[in-house]
Amino acid sequence: MRRIVISPVLREILRPIGQIIIFVSGSGAVLSALLLLIAFLLRGSAVDQATFEHNKIGIFAYTLVNLPQVLIDGVTIGFVYAAIALGYTMVYGVLEFINFAHSEIFAIGAFVGVEILIALDNAGKLSGLSIWGAYGMVIIAIIGGMIASGGMAMLMEFVAYRPLRGAPRLVPLISAIGVSFFLQDAIRLTESLTTGQFNRIFPTFGNFSERFTLARLGLAGQVVDVNIQYKSVMVIMAAVLMLVGLNYLVNATRLGKAIRAVAQDRPTASLMGINVNRIISLTFLIGGSLGGAAGVLYALKFTKIDPFIGFFPGLKAFTAAVLGGIGNITGALLGGIVLGMLETFAGSYLSIFTMGAAGAEYKDILAFAILILVLIFRPSGLLGEQVGQKA
């Protein structure tokens, strides 16, 4: 058998795409199977009857009919979590430190991106755009958000973390919590000083909110349309691009090699002529700009943003990073997708399965439940062999 030889550059680009396909389809299949199993076991119970009264179909059929749409939504939000989780995991890999303020870096990205679009909207540049023009505008907003977030992350590292390097572990963490709180109010102050209120709405333009039919399936005797919004496609595309780009950067460039070296052993890396401070700054820059891009994507998907939006996505992304194995880029991707799916499952099915006793409002704390379970039973995460000793 002849081994297929491809260039290492191509390999580093193709491998993450393959991983993404495997992760999405694999975790989608496993989680759906589990969900359907639960629904199957609930047949004939009081839950089944209640569902039948409300929806005219049994619990199993209801679950099956809704599943494709739920999966699509789960994958979309999962990619956003994965993109944020990359920032946590990179910083953790290099400094072994939870950058608690990464959630505000995310929020800053969202605000800068939306402010750019609002400014363009006020200048009349957003009306009458072609579809490709609209995509171009969003890309401009994403780049703006990336620059602002990356710069802020670097500044944050320089001001609040660098003086504390070498201090006991909890000291920089407490400082990071302080930075997080400070930035929340700093965003609120800047936003409210200009217009008197601190919420922002993503301007409506282009065809982002429209849906198109991805597939038409025959499930449980019904014809089910699986729809997807254009903006979800955009979110997924952008997140995949970022993941592939980061993977290439870390695994196939000189800079990536230096980052890996610093992550493995800082003193030795410094002896090998690597400027450790510069690498750490760059790590914050890269992680921060990915977080900022995720922020703009989040704003695109959910439209309304406020200075505190970072908190829950940040914690969930951290959970995703831990779930996949913190310090591990592939792990962050897997963790994000799994967490996104679990969360949408909980949001869509929990109230049906518990007959309304516990509903979608518990999906925010689902992430904590997962975090606790992972930390107790498998602290190195799903793919976390590499950092087994550190964690």
Q: Which residues bind other proteins (CB under 8 A)?
A: 97-98, 160, 163-164, 167, 169-175, 177-186, 188-189, 192-194, 196-198, 311, 315, 318, 322, 356-358, 361-362, 364-365, 367-368, 371-372, 375-376, 379, 391
Least gap, CB of 203 to other proteins (angstroms): 22
Per DSSP, the three-state class of 165 is coil
Nearer to other proteins, 57 or 375 (CB): 375
Nearer to other proteins, 12 or 104 (CB): 104
- Contact between 358 and 351 under an 8 Å Cβ cutoff? The reply is yes
Per DSSP, the three-state class of 7 is coil
Written in H, E and C, the secondary structure of 71-129 is: HHHHHHHHHHHHHHHHHHHHHHHHHCCCCCCHHHHHHHHHHHHHHHHHHHHHCCCCCCC
Least gap, CB of 163 to other proteins (angstroms): 5
Least gap, CB of 107 to other proteins (angstroms): 13
- Contact between 81 and 23 under an 8 Å Cβ cutoff? The reply is no
Nearer to other proteins, 129 or 315 (CB): 315
Least gap, CB of 254 to other proteins (angstroms): 31
Phi, psi of 214 (to 5 degrees): -80, -40
- Contact between 329 and 23 under an 8 Å Cβ cutoff? The reply is no
With both helix axes pointing from N to C terminus, report the angle between 59-95 and 8-41 in degrees, rounded to the nearest 10. 140
Nearer to other proteins, 89 or 229 (CB): 89
Nearer to other proteins, 156 or 243 (CB): 156
Nearer to other proteins, 76 or 89 (CB): 89
Among residues 79, 67, 70, the alpha carbon closest in space to that of 20 is found at 79
Least gap, CB of 289 to other proteins (angstroms): 23
What value does the CA radius of gyration of the chain take, rounded to a whole number of Å? 22
253 DSSP 8-state letter? S
Buried/exposed 24-60: b ≥16 CB within 10 Å, e otherwise:
beebbeebbeebeeebeebeeeebbeebeeeeebbbb
Per DSSP, the three-state class of 197 is coil
Least gap, CB of 384 to other proteins (angstroms): 13
Phi, psi of 382 (to 5 degrees): -65, -40
**Cβ-proximal residues to 51 (8 Å cutoff; 6+ apart), any chain:** 57, 58, 59, 62, 352
Least gap, CB of 338 to other proteins (angstroms): 18
Nearer to other proteins, 248 or 311 (CB): 311
Nearer to other proteins, 180 or 232 (CB): 180
- Contact between 72 and 301 under an 8 Å Cβ cutoff? The reply is no
Nearer to other proteins, 76 or 175 (CB): 175
Nearer to other proteins, 15 or 188 (CB): 188
Least gap, CB of 110 to other proteins (angstroms): 18
Q: Could you give the C-alpha distances from 197 to 136, 149, 191, 193, 285, in angstroms and in order? A: 28, 22, 7, 8, 30
Least gap, CB of 53 to other proteins (angstroms): 18
Least gap, CB of 78 to other proteins (angstroms): 20
Residue 283 to residue 259: CA distance in whole angstroms: 7
